[in-house]
Amino acid sequence: MHEIIEVGLTVNGRPHELRIEPRETLGEVLRDRLALTGLKVSCDSQVCGACTVLVDGLAVSACTYLAVDADGRSVRTVEGLAVDGRLTPLQQAFIDHAAFQCAFCTSGMLMTATALLEENPAPTREEVVTGLEGNLCRCTGYAPIVDAVLAAAAATAEATA
């Protein structure tokens, strides 16, 4: 029998009390126990960024981040971005710029970029490129993704000006 631990975490603003095995990753808990399947596991070794979620505002790789370490913390996933069906400027910019094709990387890319823009609302192109360095995309060649993040920053600045 495997050990069971109780953890409490907030996911997209909703509190959850869960009984999990210590070996479970945050990705497994989000996907398999909470049915938040937007995050995708690709490399399974913290290289590709497809599984990126935010824990207390920081981008982490859910494929290797143990769920027990999220105890008492606040987790945000791609499902928490749009509110009442209204896309964030970043999500809209991804659509407008064709910043994805297969989209297996997109949830992680959006979460990394969300954290980036929260920390730095007006990044330069170089800062966006550096910020996305840990997120792989095999379809787009990245240029449209960088364009989309910059466009989202500009749209947000305009909306709040």
Partner 1 sequence: MKRVIERPTPPSPISVSVPRRDGIAKVTGSAQFAVDVVVPGMAHAKILRSPYAHARIRSIDVTAARAHPGVIAVVTADDLPDVILRYGHALADHPMIATGKVRFAGEPIVGVVAEDAATADEALRLIELDMEPLPAVTTVEAALADDAPVIHEEAAEQRPHRGFEEDISKTAANVCSHSRQHYGDVDAGFAAAALVIEGEFRYPMCYAYAMEPYTTVASWNQGQLTVWSSAQHPYMVRDDLARCFGLPLSSVRVVVPYVGGGYGSKSYTKIEPLTAALALRAGRPVRLALVADEAILTTRGDSARVRVKSAFDAEGHLLARKAEVLLNTGAYAENSPLVARKAANRLSGPYRIPAVDVTCDAVYTNTAPASSFRGFGAPQVVLAGESQMDEAAERLGLDPLEIRRRNVLKPGERPWPKVRGIDADLGADMELAAIELDWDAPAEPGRGKAICISASDAGSEPVTTAVLRVHADGSATVMCGSTEMGQGSNTVLAQIGAGEMGIPLERVHLNQSDTGMVSYDRSTGASRTTTLMGLAIRDAARDVKAQLVGWAQDAIAKDGAEVVEEHEGVRVGGTFHDWGAVVRAWFAGAGGECIGRGYVRKAGATEAMPPFWEVGCVGVDLTVDEQTGRIQIHKLVTIGDVGCAINPQLAEAQDVGAAIMGLGMATREELVYTADGNLLNGNLFDYRVPRASDIPPLATVLVERGDGVGVYGAKGGGEGALNPVAAAIANAVFRATGARLRQAPFTPERVWRALQERDAAAS
Among 9, 67, 70, 145, binds partner 1 (CB under 8 A): 145
Q: What share of the chain is helix, strand, coil (3-state, %, to 5)?
A: 40, 20, 45
How do 58-61 and 52-55 pair as beta strands? Answer: antiparallel
Count of residues engaged in binding partner 1, rule: CB under 8 A:
52
Tell me: does residue 153 bind partner 1 (CB under 8 A).
Answer: no
Pick from 47, 17, 126, 33: which is nearest to 77 by CA?
33
Indicate which single residue of 79, 127, 155, 156 sits in contact with partner 1 (rule: CB under 8 A).
Answer: 79
- DSSP H or E segment with residue 104: none
Please list every residue from 47 through 76 that binds partner 1, using CB under 8 A.
47-48, 50
Q: Which of 7, 68, 100, 123 is in the footprint of partner 1 by CB under 8 A?
A: 100
Can you tell me which residue has the tokens 């330069």?
124
Under the binding rule (CB under 8 A), the answer on residue 156 touching partner 1 is no
Q: Which helix (H) or strand (E) holds 127?
A: helix 125-131
Q: Does position 23 bind partner 1 by CB under 8 A?
A: yes
Q: Report the distance separating Cα 136 and Cα 133, nearest Å.
A: 7
Q: Is residue 144 a contact residue for partner 1 (CB under 8 A)?
A: yes
Chain residues that interact with partner 1, rule: CB under 8 A: 21, 23, 36-45, 47-48, 50, 77-79, 81-82, 87, 91, 94-96, 98, 100-107, 110, 128-130, 132-133, 135-146
